[in-house]
Structure 1
């Protein structure tokens, strides 16, 4: 068993770079622009801001407090809140395992497309190139061959990720984010400047930002705003609890949450400007409306954008910059997702960091390659991503906030802990947001999603395939969480020897006096 002391961030800036790196990922680039466009355009920014202030930031601060106070990974932190709550932490670790296994695959695709952009290898039909020539996609649920063009860059992605984690919190994660986040910002600013100078960019921006105030009366628009905030801030599946566990006891939590939250939202708006500028250009080139080209996700990045790159002057340069931006944004997020698992293994087993990285990384790399670097990988990735997001992250977030706020009634304790060291104090509004607004919104998101799910099969996939690749994956993560929590901890007193500074659940006097 390792006796290494728990690591710390070098300073507040290091933590902020890491938190922003985790939040700014693929979803900022390929999800937010379309969600905003499809839900009222410029008017969407109002419910988006309300969602950020009433759910995103309050929940982010709650996770920061839990992580810093109990100085442990999610299972250890929730265990110290209440023994049965440990299952929530392991559930979050299992969700991270699933997400990281396929998230790395998307990065591998982006790595290949950096090279494809140079000579526009996708030719005249980017859609057929992506699904048939590159991924060799077959029928859902069937595997007949491995795809070397995915496997080798995937191994490279895992090598880089694990080296960063191997080096530790300060010399690895913090250093990498200090380099990658400024680099990402520079790359994307160059892209946006180029995009807004294209012919037709104004029409694209008008389509994105022209407000449809009538949309504010639709409940689905508000649900979409809360959903976007929830997914984009990396909350609900243990990342911010883990990152905050490496903070010092006097760290400003609310100020850090404000910086990370607004930095993430600013990047999303920047991404929207860039994406819709180039969509406006493409619409002008083809003589169609922007609405006919607007899309999100994999289709936007690997089908729509290659087509745009082929038709624009200097397209090769733009393509390299765009896909390189995807790689960097995704890599910082992938590191944070895997770190949750590494920290949990460290705390649970007492292994050294490097041993935990080797164990977690070895298993993840094997699962990632075997499950997704084949001709059935695209459909499996699509189904697993949808269900683990809707019935993993959202449900885990809902359960965690209900347990902390309603069952254990720990919000006042966490509030005092945050206020003792934070520049912006948490008042009654924070308690109302977490105790009422956030649970109700997340609960409605679950109901709304389930209703849609039961009306028709997601993506038109066969029910038998969705049974194991979708519902089975989401249910499996929950089952793993419960079973892992039933295994006795090696050392009950200090959670594997990793939380010597964790405070007792009862409110200590020094924190009271901090008010």
Structure 2
């Protein structure tokens, strides 16, 4: 079976940006920023995008292009059957994330339609509480998932590339227009100050909490750890610089996230709404309720939620493709069979999450963060200690002189520094879930010992040695 490829470089870039530009930018980023000190969170988030996100993203692209396979097939192809479990983690992460992601996508679809009538303007809190879970949420989750399945079924070039080439520029244009309009509202300056003025005292007092939150957001928003970028890179049919492409993807994604903040925070402050109010529901309660007080609020609501819907759909497409590519490559299914099979599974798991707030919370707040972090740790250690010099060769393939100069620092980062940092956040996160306070020195020690042990095992299993 001939494997699909991207038609153009810009098609791959926009598809990858579409994968990253999703709910992480427009839904998760603003409320996490609000809960973690505004600019204090923004500063650490941007630093972690550069120090952790970009090298990690390139590490995942290296595995994908080197193998030309889905996550399970990639690790089997490059490391042997004993490393298939890393691909299984990616499949699990993709299934977990899309199971709750499609529920939120259903909420956004419903709000986009409801904005036209102003159905939630009078009582936004009560409206959200009435539609967030239950049969209605299941129905809209199914509708959002159907749209995702329809695009993925059309294939890599005619479906994913064609749709994201339209959606991503549309997101930028609509968000940019909203940002310009919001700047004219009275009180917008206070929103900019909260978002862009750094409170050093707050950052010093809450550094660890803000660091962990920013690290989780950096991984979530770049769509790393679930195999989406690995899968997209497996469709690359020509030599080009993964360092350049990965950096460009991260820059565009981060710019759109920052742009979303330039819309959300000035809008909230202009209407006297606390930016920390509502947590994960802020988009649907605090911000949605504010539209009712605006001139042409219904139009603004349709445009805003339309942007969020496009962003959510572009990410959901990439996550579903992880599962579809696995069924095509490993089980010889046609794209139609694979898409319907994966879609059917997610229809069931997502319906459970849509019906149960407890299941939704478990998937979205706990399992997703841990499995994404674990997945990326495994990817990077595989790059560093199994592929070894082959990872550097793939990094340098198609690269310019500058990229070749930084290949060694990149390799050291993905083999040692980043896995230890990610393991530290993983240990801290597990301790938080279990209600066990873990001091920073203990978490660092556990992370170093754990990464060293896994690296030693991986190095002994390396087929390249």
TM-score range, shorter chain: 0.7 to 0.9
Does the 8 A contact of 1:102 with 1:372 survive in 2?
Answer: yes
Structure 2 residue aligned with 1:278: 267
> Which residue, out of 101, 114, 117, partners 1:116?
114
Alpha-carbon distance in structure 2 between the residues aligned to 1:447 and 1:204: 35
Does the 8 A contact of 1:282 with 1:308 survive in 2?
Answer: yes
Alpha-carbon distance in structure 1 between the residues aligned to 2:318 and 2:189: 36
Does the 8 A contact of 1:59 with 1:235 survive in 2?
Answer: yes
**TM-score normalised per structure 1:** 0.80
> Which residue, out of 198, 223, 236, partners 1:247?
236
Alpha-carbon distance in structure 1 between the residues aligned to 2:29 and 2:82: 36
Alpha-carbon distance in structure 1 between the residues aligned to 2:169 and 2:43: 28
Alpha-carbon distance in structure 2 between the residues aligned to 1:368 and 1:40: 33
Structure 1 residue aligned with 2:444: none
Distance 1:337 1:78, change over 3 A: same
> Which residue, out of 10, 17, 39, partners 2:7?
10
Distance 1:76 1:171, change over 3 A: same
Does the 8 A contact of 2:377 with 2:419 survive in 1?
Answer: yes
CA deviation vs aligned residue, 1:16-58 (integer Å, no higher than 9, x gap): 0100000000111122234344445435444333322221111
RMSD over equivalenced CA pairs, Å: 2.2
CA deviation vs aligned residue, 1:77-127 (integer Å, no higher than 9, x gap): 111232211111012112211221221121111111112212321243311
Rg (Cα) greater in structure: 1
CA deviation vs aligned residue, 1:375-395 (integer Å, no higher than 9, x gap): x3x332122111222221112
Distance 1:359 1:43, change over 3 A: closer
Does the 8 A contact of 1:223 with 1:441 survive in 2?
Answer: no
> Which residue, out of 225, 228, 232, partners 2:217?
228
Structure 2 residue aligned with 1:448: 428
> Which residue, out of 165, 186, 203, partners 2:173?
186
- Structure 1: 5+ residue runs without aligned partners? 138-145, 284-289, 458-503, 508-515
> Which residue, out of 417, 420, 425, partners 2:394?
417
CA deviation vs aligned residue, 1:459-480 (integer Å, no higher than 9, x gap): xxxxxxxxxxxxxxxxxxxxxx
Alpha-carbon distance in structure 1 between the residues aligned to 2:258 and 2:120: 29
Does the 8 A contact of 1:205 with 1:273 survive in 2?
Answer: yes
Alpha-carbon distance in structure 1 between the residues aligned to 2:189 and 2:424: 36
> Which residue, out of 95, 115, 131, partners 1:134?
131
Residue 216 of structure 1: how far off its partner (Å): 5.0
Structure 2 residue aligned with 1:77: 74
Does the 8 A contact of 1:31 with 1:296 survive in 2?
Answer: no
Does the 8 A contact of 1:68 with 1:249 survive in 2?
Answer: no
Distance 1:373 1:430, change over 3 A: closer
> Which residue, out of 189, 214, 217, partners 1:202?
189
Residue 252 of structure 1: how far off its partner (Å): 2.1
CA deviation vs aligned residue, 1:244-277 (integer Å, no higher than 9, x gap): 0000241221111011000011011101111101
Which segment drifts farther, 81-90 or 255-264? 81-90
Does the 8 A contact of 1:31 with 1:297 survive in 2?
Answer: no
SS, match of residue 295 in structure 2 = coil
**TM-score normalised per structure 2:** 0.88
Structure 1 residue aligned with 2:447: none
> Which residue, out of 325, 331, 338, partners 1:349?
331
Query: Superposition pairs for residues 304-319 of structure 1, below 5 Å?
Result: 304-319=286-301
Residue 282 of structure 1: how far off its partner (Å): 2.1
Distance 1:117 1:338, change over 3 A: same
Is 1:169 the counterpart of 2:156? The answer is: yes
> Which residue, out of 352, 360, 367, partners 2:342?
360
Structure 2 residue aligned with 1:60: 57
Alpha-carbon distance in structure 2 between the residues aligned to 1:79 and 1:165: 25
Alpha-carbon distance in structure 1 between the residues aligned to 2:279 and 2:244: 32
> Which residue, out of 11, 16, 20, partners 1:19?
16
Which segment drifts farther, 273-282 or 337-346? 273-282
Residue 170 of structure 1: how far off its partner (Å): 0.4
Does the 8 A contact of 2:116 with 2:299 survive in 1?
Answer: yes
Does the 8 A contact of 1:251 with 1:422 survive in 2?
Answer: yes
Residue 323 of structure 1: how far off its partner (Å): 1.0
Alpha-carbon distance in structure 2 between the residues aligned to 1:316 and 1:339: 34
Alpha-carbon distance in structure 2 between the residues aligned to 1:134 and 1:46: 35
CA deviation vs aligned residue, 1:356-399 (integer Å, no higher than 9, x gap): 11222222223333x1443x3x3321221112222211122223
Alpha-carbon distance in structure 1 between the residues aligned to 2:35 and 2:388: 36
Distance 1:365 1:45, change over 3 A: closer
Does the 8 A contact of 1:7 with 1:246 survive in 2?
Answer: yes
> Which residue, out of 396, 405, 413, partners 1:433?
413
